[in-house]
A and B are shown apart, each in its own frame.
Chain A
Amino acid sequence: MSELSVADIRCFRPALVREARDRVELERKRIGDAMAELLAGRPRASGWAGPAALAAVARNADAIRALGEIANRLGVTAQLLTHLAERMQACLQLVRHADVRAAEASGWLNHEGQLFLPQPPAYLDPVLVAHHARREALLREEIDRDLRQAQDLARQADHEASTRLRAAAQGSTAMPAMSPGALPVPVPPPLRQGSYVDPASAFANAAWWRALTPEEKGRVIRERPDWVGPRDGLPGWARHAANVTLLGRLEAAAATELAQVEDHHYGSQTAKRADREWKVQRVESLRVVRDVLFQHDGAQRQLLHVDDSGPIVQAVVAVGDVDTAEHVATHVGGFTTTVRGSLRRIDRESTQMRAEADALTEGAVAVVSWLGYPAPQWAGLTTRGASVLGEDLSRGYADELAAFLNGVDAARDAPVHSTLWAHSYGSNLAGHALLQTVSVDDVVLFGSPGVPFRTVEQVGLKPNGLNVLAAPDDWIPKTGPLVLGMPPLAVPGARRLATLHVKGMPNDLRSAEGHSEYRAAGTLSRRNLVAVAAGRPDLVIPASAAERRPTGGVQGPAAVAATADVAAPVTRPATR
């Protein structure tokens, strides 16, 4: 099979193919006119009757049938040319998208698709050097995937068009039985390579989606929701539509399997109980997803992922529109997070925080609750590979988080300001994701037990891109690093934001206490999370000297209150 180069694609002229299509249609009309003549001139019994007349009628009918078949195959040819022109247009759009992305970075692509970028500025700050390098790596990945998809698409279209045009010319016996005039929908890239998800696959997926016609997109959502729902790099609206279909299927299958528990033979009552418990949890988890998704609170939600194939049900739900929001914050939960037990609360907080962020910025905000990994649970404490005391889960699912973040960006035409909020064990997972080539602008780690990197340069975040919230009386940031890597506060370049309310800070805010209050209403930590997500660094409240000061032993507002600059604690809102 011949390879079509980027240079070949740049020379594509879909308008000429459409012109050929129009001419073929004209020929079809001429054949139609010829058939009309034959029909009008059919021998009639009143003018000619007898054996010869019957033979002539039969020959006339044969000729009409043969012309009808030729006209039909010309119609197929015209349809094929229409589809071919659409594919060529899609290939050109992918190459143009790559051109635009290169130009946005002040670079360019040559005729063959080779990327040229200007020399990076001579940064003195190694953090800036690393940040620039990460941005460039992301850009190269995106452009590379665009161009590769364009070439794949061109090759497939070429092969299919060649085969089908020949079949149409040869006659019906060689024609494909189904949709002979339609080029088949290109098969999407694989979702994963074994158990690994390539974070850059989101760019390939986005390129695949861009190459489909609107009609094909609708068809794929209807007929192959499994291609769309779990695929990072596709627009939120499409994933939502497909995932709602998939959710319905999962619910039906889960209910059926639960109903069949009694009919199954189990080796022991314990095995039966365990299986029933899992199936009950699955049914309930999926119900929670539906309840959260379709609650009547006026907020728009998108179901960006749902999966019940793992040890616990996973779901990713956005509040707002990830396709158009200027700012998208993604929250990753930690230890004991589950869809069944946590999604309602996380979604409620996310909805409130989105509204607060919206109030701080002119651009719209979307907040994603990413429960896309089987967070460690108490039951797995001593289980290797599932324990909160090890990094196996973090390492294992970091690629999925990175692919998701890349996907939010890749699916859009306009760039997004992307913030990653990661709590507790989720921050360790986030740390592993940051070590990959990932599209994220700002990060806030809170209640973090440790991260797998030692410098900001390693993850390529911009200066002040790595923010940390650590309440003085939260013991996880103090003990976690014993088993989960580097304390993020010890990472040079990390910025500590306020969780502790001291004199001089806004009086409508209060301190966050312990490990689980960072997103609680009215806390300083929540204000900081929201300000970062809204792209308002001017509203970020850094940790006070009192909060930064090591006081030894248990450190809480009460202990720190002994210091001079601490204000009297603000009363906790009764609503919480």
Chain B
Amino acid sequence: MRYTVDPNALNAGADHIARALEHLGSLRLEEDLGPLRFAFAGGVTVGGLKAITNQWDIQLSGARGQLRILGSALVQAADGYGGLESLTAQQLRAVGPQADE
């Protein structure tokens, strides 16, 4: 198996995802649609508004969840690759001089 890894790039990707999540975190559709209750009182639209905003919550939560998983994976990968690299380097640095001796 052949692969190239730049853990910094992975961390940068995770940062982008974190900022994307920040944008999504500020969404407040229940508040946004709230004025309909007063603007259009009496109809079935207002009666069903709670269900509509719940649906949006579900959709947005799903999207956020996906992003969190991806972000975590990138961080873990960066950490993993970085950790493996430094561990390996550390081990090799420790092993090398002994071999020479």
Tell me if B1 is interfacial: C-beta within 8 Å of chain A: yes
Q: In the bound complex, how far is the Cα of B66 from the Cα of A488, in angstroms?
A: 85
Q: Is A161 in contact with B45, judged by CB distance below 8 angstroms?
A: yes
Q: Is B23 in contact with A62, judged by CB distance below 8 angstroms?
A: no
- Please tell me which one of the listed residues B10, B17, B44, B70 contacts residue A37 in the complex, with CB atoms under 8 A apart: B17
Task: Name B21-47 residues within 8 Å CB distance of A.
Answer: 21, 23-24, 26-29, 31-36, 38-45, 47
Tell me if B51 is interfacial: C-beta within 8 Å of chain A: yes
Q: B74 → chain A, closest Cβ, in Å?
A: 7
Q: A113 → chain B, closest Cβ, in Å?
A: 14
Which residue of the partner chain B has the closest CB to A62? B66
Q: B83 → chain A, closest Cβ, in Å?
A: 15
User: Which of B20, B21, B67 neighbours the largest number of chain A CB atoms within 10 Å of its CB?
Assistant: B20
Q: Is B59 in contact with A70, judged by CB distance below 8 angstroms?
A: yes
- Please tell me which one of the listed residues B16, B44, B55, B60 contacts residue A158 in the complex, with CB atoms under 8 A apart: B44
Tell me if A13 is interfacial: C-beta within 8 Å of chain B: yes
Chain B residues with Cβ under 8 A from A48's Cβ? 3-6, 9-10, 77
Tell me if A49 is interfacial: C-beta within 8 Å of chain B: yes
Q: In the bound complex, how far is the Cα of B55 from the Cα of A56, in angstroms?
A: 27
Q: In the bound complex, how far is the Cα of B59 from the Cα of A292, in angstroms?
A: 62
- Please tell me which one of the listed residues B8, B15, B63 contacts residue A63 in the complex, with CB atoms under 8 A apart: B63
Q: In the bound complex, how far is the Cα of B5 from the Cα of A48, in angstroms?
A: 4
Q: A73 → chain B, closest Cβ, in Å?
A: 8
The secondary-structure label for the interface of chain B is: helix
Q: Is A35 in contact with B43, judged by CB distance below 8 angstroms?
A: no
Chain B 54-69 against A: per-residue CB contact (8 Å), 1 yes, 0 no?
A: 0110011011001101
Tell me if B2 is interfacial: C-beta within 8 Å of chain A: yes
Q: Is B35 in contact with A50, judged by CB distance below 8 angstroms?
A: no
Q: Is A20 in contact with B36, judged by CB distance below 8 angstroms?
A: yes
The secondary-structure label for the interface of chain A is: helix
- Please tell me which one of the listed residues A26, A47, A88 contacts residue B40 in the complex, with CB atoms under 8 A apart: A88
**Which one of A2-10, A356-364, A493-501 is at the interface?**
A2-10
Q: In the bound complex, how far is the Cα of B26 from the Cα of A46, in angstroms?
A: 33
Chain A 140-182 against B: per-residue CB contact (8 Å), 1 yes, 0 no?
A: 0000000000000011001101100110011100000000000
Asked, given contacts A30-B27, A66-B66, whether A50 binds B5 with beta carbons under 8 Å apart, the answer is yes
User: Which of A40, A42, A51 neighbours the largest number of chain B CB atoms within 10 Å of its CB?
Assistant: A40
Asked, given contacts A41-B15, A47-B6, whether A158 binds B35 with beta carbons under 8 Å apart, the answer is no
Q: Is B36 in contact with A17, judged by CB distance below 8 angstroms?
A: yes
Tell me if A227 is interfacial: C-beta within 8 Å of chain B: no
Q: Is A66 in contact with B77, judged by CB distance below 8 angstroms?
A: no
Q: Is A154 in contact with B9, judged by CB distance below 8 angstroms?
A: no
- Please tell me which one of the listed residues A12, A49, A88, A162 contacts residue B48 in the complex, with CB atoms under 8 A apart: A162
Tell me if A1 is interfacial: C-beta within 8 Å of chain B: yes
Tell me if B12 is interfacial: C-beta within 8 Å of chain A: yes
Q: Is B23 in contact with A24, judged by CB distance below 8 angstroms?
A: no
Q: In the bound complex, how far is the Cα of B59 from the Cα of A230, in angstroms?
A: 48
User: Which of B34, B48, B53, B62 neighbours the largest number of chain A CB atoms within 10 Å of its CB?
Assistant: B48
Q: In the bound complex, how far is the Cα of B77 from the Cα of A171, in angstroms?
A: 33
Task: Name B69-100 residues within 8 Å CB distance of A.
Answer: 69-70, 73-74, 77
Q: In the bound complex, how far is the Cα of B79 from the Cα of A166, in angstroms?
A: 42
Asked, given contacts A50-B2, A159-B44, A162-B45, whether A13 binds B17 with beta carbons under 8 Å apart, the answer is no
Chain A residues with Cβ under 8 A from B5's Cβ? 47-50
- Please tell me which one of the listed residues A13, A24, A43, A50 contacts residue B39 in the complex, with CB atoms under 8 A apart: A13
Tell me if A14 is interfacial: C-beta within 8 Å of chain B: yes
Q: In the bound complex, how far is the Cα of B12 from the Cα of A40, in angstroms?
A: 10
Tell me if A454 is interfacial: C-beta within 8 Å of chain B: no
Tell me if A27 is interfacial: C-beta within 8 Å of chain B: yes
Chain A 13-35 against B: per-residue CB contact (8 Å), 1 yes, 0 no?
A: 11111011001101100110111
Chain B residues with Cβ under 8 A from A43's Cβ? 9-10, 13, 74
Q: Is A37 in contact with B19, judged by CB distance below 8 angstroms?
A: yes
Q: In the bound complex, how far is the Cα of B53 from the Cα of A5, in angstroms?
A: 26
Which residue of the partner chain A has the closest CB to B56? A169
Chain A residues with Cβ under 8 A from B20's Cβ? 33-35, 37-38, 41
- Please tell me which one of the listed residues A16, A30, A41, A50 contacts residue B16 in the complex, with CB atoms under 8 A apart: A41
Q: Is B10 in contact with A20, judged by CB distance below 8 angstroms?
A: no
Q: Is A56 in contact with B45, judged by CB distance below 8 angstroms?
A: no
Q: In the bound complex, how far is the Cα of B55 from the Cα of A171, in angstroms?
A: 9
Tell me if A84 is interfacial: C-beta within 8 Å of chain B: yes
Asked, given contacts A31-B27, A49-B3, A50-B5, whether A166 binds B40 with beta carbons under 8 Å apart, the answer is no
Q: Is B43 in contact with A42, judged by CB distance below 8 angstroms?
A: no
Q: Is A16 in contact with B39, judged by CB distance below 8 angstroms?
A: yes
Tell me if A52 is interfacial: C-beta within 8 Å of chain B: yes
Chain A residues with Cβ under 8 A from B14's Cβ? 41
Asked, given contacts A20-B32, A88-B39, whether A66 binds B9 with beta carbons under 8 Å apart, the answer is no
Q: Is B66 in contact with A59, judged by CB distance below 8 angstroms?
A: yes
Q: Is A56 in contact with B42, judged by CB distance below 8 angstroms?
A: no
Q: In the bound complex, how far is the Cα of B63 from the Cα of A171, in angstroms?
A: 13
Tell me if A435 is interfacial: C-beta within 8 Å of chain B: no
- Please tell me which one of the listed residues B33, B51, B66 contacts residue A24 in the complex, with CB atoms under 8 A apart: B33
Chain B residues with Cβ under 8 A from A56's Cβ? 13, 70, 73-74, 77
Tell me if A345 is interfacial: C-beta within 8 Å of chain B: no
Which residue of the partner chain B has the closest CB to A154? B43
Q: What are 21 inter-chain pairs, A to B, with CB distance below 8 A?
A: A2-B42, A4-B43, A5-B42, A8-B42, A12-B40, A16-B35, A20-B36, A20-B39, A27-B29, A30-B23, A31-B23, A34-B21, A41-B13, A43-B13, A48-B4, A49-B3, A63-B67, A66-B63, A161-B40, A161-B43, A162-B44
